[in-house]
A = this chain, B = another copy of it.
Amino acid sequence: MIAFDKKISFESKRNDIVTVGELLIDMISADYSDNFDCNTYHKSFGGSPSNIAMNVTKLGLNSLVFSAVGNDGFGTFLVNQLNDAGIDTSCVQRVNRSTSMVVVTKSKSTPIPIFYRQADYHLDYTPSLEEALLNSKIVHFSCWPISMLPARHTIERMIETARSHGVLVCFDPNFHPMIWQAGENGVAYVKSILSKVDIVKPSEDDAERLFGKDTHLNQVGKFLELGAKLVIMTLGKNGALISNGTDTIRMDTLATEVVDTTGAGDAFWSGFYAGLVKGYTVRESLRLGMAVSAFKLKHSGAVVNSLDIEEVKGIFRV
């Protein structure tokens, strides 16, 4: 059991965390539009696991990214961004597909992204990937790599290796039907993988896409029933509901000012991981996650350049 008032103990490893999954270009419209009639777009570094790697590095952890990008200018741009941030890119694979991209229009209603998935899911399980995994404390992955082959098989092998070697397995069930192949039952697959992970952090939307509408407590119960050991359900301005199957706790948000919600969930993960690796208890780590998320909400953009753990702790008194 993952007890709230205990630390998670890790073996001494040279790397703290491996994030696995989409490393891609976000192509975001300059203007607001609901129908892609805007003509100007700005490219930016994107992909939730890579944003977490960026954040945790700023918070003082060693991180390593497992992703596949194209042998093209966009791939080089992304790798350079990671290198500039001090992240180990030795496991970023360059493949003969175009670097994946998501085009989004800023929208006052619900933006509908257009997905261009090419390189990202061509992630292979390699000896150097396994070596890096065995020398890491935590492995984190999202729904993107499990949604398509061959990356799905890579994740399956990684989970197996991680579990048999004491690497903590964390999963962001950011399920979106549009990243799945038409006709494939993505919901069933995501559910099937929950028995193999230690920690899962669904949002309300993630839970609803997987299980339909229900109370927060019931949703958390479903993740536990399927085998996750710690479920952190984030509830936006209503904080979070967290359960290890024995104890269930509620945490309030620490947010005081909301400028931009982009990347708030990744910021939570990042603070939480920083806490775990630095030897905080699970409860303290959760609170650091809430603080980093609150700090991110005060700034625009998916990753806050000025993220600093001492500043965050000072502001939010964690």
With contact pairs A27-B27, A96-B182, A182-B96 given, residues A72 and B114 touching in the complex (Cβ less than 8 Å)? yes
Contact with B along A17-33 (1 / 0, CB 8 A): 00000000001001000
Given A39-B42, A96-B182, the answer on whether A101 and B116 have CB atoms closer than 8 Å is yes
Considering the complex, which residues of chain A in the window 65-123 have a beta carbon less than 8 Å from any beta carbon of chain B? Answer: 70, 72-74, 76-77, 96, 98-99, 101, 103, 105, 112, 114-116, 118
- Residue of B whose beta carbon sits closest to that of A101: B116
Residues of chain B within 8 A (CB-CB) of A118 are 116
In the complex, the answer to whether A73 meets B41 with C-beta atoms within 8 Å is: no
Chain B residue numbers with a CB within 8 Å of A30 are 40
Q: Is the CB of B98 within 8 A of A116?
A: yes
**Size class of the contact patch on chain A:** 20 to 34
A114 touches B99 (CB 8 A): yes
- Taking a contact as CB atoms closer than 8 A, the residue among B41, B73, B96, B105 that contacts A27 in the complex is B41
Task: Answer yes or no: A35 CB below 8 A from chain B CBs.
Answer: yes
Interchain CB contact under 8 A, B96 and A115: no
A101-B116, A114-B70 known; A76 and B39 CB under 8 Å? Answer: no
Tell me if A196 is interfacial: C-beta within 8 Å of chain B. Answer: no
Contact of A77 among B27, B37, B116 (CB under 8 A): B37
Chain B CB within 10 Å, residue with most, of A39, A73, A77: A73
- Per-residue CB proximity of A232-243 to B under 8 Å, as 1/0? 000000000000
For A100, the closest partner residue in chain B by CB is B116
User: Can you sample 20 A-B contacts with CB below 8 Å?
Assistant: A35-B73, A36-B73, A36-B74, A37-B73, A39-B44, A40-B40, A40-B41, A40-B43, A41-B41, A41-B42, A70-B114, A72-B114, A73-B114, A74-B114, A96-B182, A98-B114, A98-B116, A99-B114, A101-B103, A101-B116
